[in-house]
Amino acid sequence: MDDITREFLSTFQRFMSEVVNQAAVESSDLTPLGVIVQDFLGADIATLPAITHGLPAHRLVDADLALAELGRDSEQPPVGVSGGQQREHLALSELLFSPHSRFSPSPIDYLSIADGPETTRRVIAFGLHRILFEGRPVVVLERAAQPQFGRVGAQLEILSLDTETSSRFLDEFSRLVLSLSVLRGKVLSFTGNEYGNSSAGATFLHRPTVEADDVVLPPGVLETVVRHVVGIGEQRERLLAAGQHLKRGVLLYGPPGTGKTLTVRHLLSRTSGTTAVLLTGSSIQFITQAAELARAMQPAIVVLEDVDLVASERGMHGPQPLLFAVLDALDGLDGDADVTFILTTNRVQVLERALAERPGRVDLAVEIPLPDVGSRRRLFRHYASGLPFSPRAIDAAADRAVETTGSFAKELVRRAVLSAAEQDRVVTDEDLSTALDELLDAGAQLARNLLGGGATLEQDGHSHGSWGAYTPLTSS
Ligand SMILES: Nc1ncnc2c1ncn2[C@@H]1O[C@H](COP(=O)(O)OP(=O)(O)OP(=O)(O)O)[C@@H](O)[C@H]1O
Ligand SMILES: [Mg+2]
Q: 84 and 138 in one domain?
A: yes
Asked if residue 453 has its Cβ within 6 Å of ligand 1, the reply is no
Which residue is closest in CA terms to ligand 1's atom 6? 406
| Mean pLDDT of the residues in the chain | 85
Q: Is residue 474 part of a domain?
A: no
Q: 159 and 284 in one domain?
A: no
Which domain CATH number covers 416? 1.10.8.60
Q: Is residue 357 part of a domain?
A: yes
Query: Rounded to the nearest 5°, which phi and psi values hold at 138?
Result: -130, 135
Residue bearing the bigger pLDDT, 440 or 9: 440
Asked if residue 406 has its Cβ within 6 Å of ligand 1, the reply is yes
From the CA of 125, how far away is ligand 1's center (Å)? 42
**447-468 as b/e, with b when 16 or more CB fall inside 10 Å?**
ebbbbbbeeeeeeeebbbbebb
Q: 202 and 172 in one domain?
A: no
Q: 436 and 422 in one domain?
A: yes
Q: How far is CA 189 from each of CA 144, 277, 278, 291, 433, rounded to the nearest angstrom?
A: 20, 5, 5, 13, 40
Judged by phi (left if over 0) then psi (alpha if -120 to 50, else beta), residue 273 lies in: left
Q: 272 and 153 in one domain?
A: no
Asked if residue 215 has its Cβ within 6 Å of ligand 1, the reply is yes
Q: 85 and 140 in one domain?
A: yes
Q: What is the mean pLDDT of residues 236-265?
A: 93
Domain end, chosen from 367, 385, 420, is at: 367
Asked if residue 471 has its Cβ within 6 Å of ligand 1, the reply is yes
Checking if the pLDDT of 467 tops 70, the result is: no
pLDDT digits (tens, 9 = 90+) for 344-382: 999 888 888 888 888 888 899 999 999 999 999 999 999
- Give me the residues near ligand 2 (ion), CB cutoff below 5 Å: 260-261
From the CA of 445, how far away is ligand 1's center (Å)? 19
Domain end, chosen from 150, 180, 210, is at: 180
Which domain CATH number covers 201? 3.40.50.300
Q: Is residue 17 part of a domain?
A: no
Q: Is residue 228 part of a domain?
A: yes
Could you tell me the end-to-end alpha-carbon distance of the chain, in angstroms, rounded to an integer? 87
Q: How far apart are CA 219 and CA 306, in angstroms?
A: 24
Angle at 80 (CA atoms; ends 79, 84), nearest 5 degrees: 165
Q: 228 and 91 in one domain?
A: no
Q: What is the mean pLDDT of residues 166-194?
A: 88
Give me the domain span that covers residue 53. Answer: 26-180
Q: How far apart are CA 87 and CA 98, in angstroms?
A: 11
Q: Is residue 472 part of a domain?
A: no
pLDDT value for 219? 93
Checking if the pLDDT of 19 tops 90, the result is: no
Q: How far apart are CA 431 and CA 446, in angstroms?
A: 21
Asked if residue 208 has its Cβ within 6 Å of ligand 1, the reply is no
pLDDT value for 469? 36
Q: What is the mean pLDDT of residues 45-64?
A: 89
pLDDT digits (tens, 9 = 90+) for 320-335: 677 888 888 888 888 8
Checking if the pLDDT of 426 tops 50, the result is: yes
Which residue is closest in CA terms to ligand 1's atom 13? 407
Q: Is residue 11 part of a domain?
A: no
pLDDT value for 321? 76
Q: Is residue 463 part of a domain?
A: no
Q: Is residue 16 part of a domain?
A: no
Asked if residue 218 has its Cβ within 6 Å of ligand 1, the reply is no
Q: 356 and 208 in one domain?
A: yes
Q: 386 and 359 in one domain?
A: no
Q: 124 and 205 in one domain?
A: no
Nearest-ligand number for the alpha carbon of 256: 1
Q: How confident is the model at residue 16 (pLDDT cuts 50, 70, 90)?
A: low
Q: How far apart are CA 11 and CA 34, in angstroms?
A: 36
Q: 331 and 275 in one domain?
A: yes
Task: Name the DSSP class of 206.
Answer: P
Asked if residue 449 has its Cβ within 6 Å of ligand 1, the reply is no
Domain end, chosen from 367, 391, 408, is at: 367
Q: 96 and 149 in one domain?
A: yes
Q: How far apart are CA 157 and CA 89, in angstroms?
A: 14
Q: How far apart are CA 203 and CA 194, in angstroms?
A: 8
Checking if the pLDDT of 460 tops 50, the result is: no
Largest CA distance in the chain: 116
Find out whether 157 and 52 touch, Cβ atoms under 8 Å: yes
Find out whether 41 and 159 touch, Cβ atoms under 8 Å: yes
pLDDT value for 18? 56
pLDDT value for 409? 94
Q: What is the total count of domains within the chain?
A: 3
pLDDT digits (tens, 9 = 90+) for 278-289: 998 778 888 888
What single string gives the DSSP state of each residue in 327-348?
HHHHHHS-TTS-EEEEEEES-H
Best of 407, 456, 464 for a ligand 1 pocket test (most atoms within 8 Å of beta carbon)? 407
Q: How confident is the model at residue 151 (pLDDT cuts 50, 70, 90)?
A: confident
Find out whether 115 and 181 touch, Cβ atoms under 8 Å: no
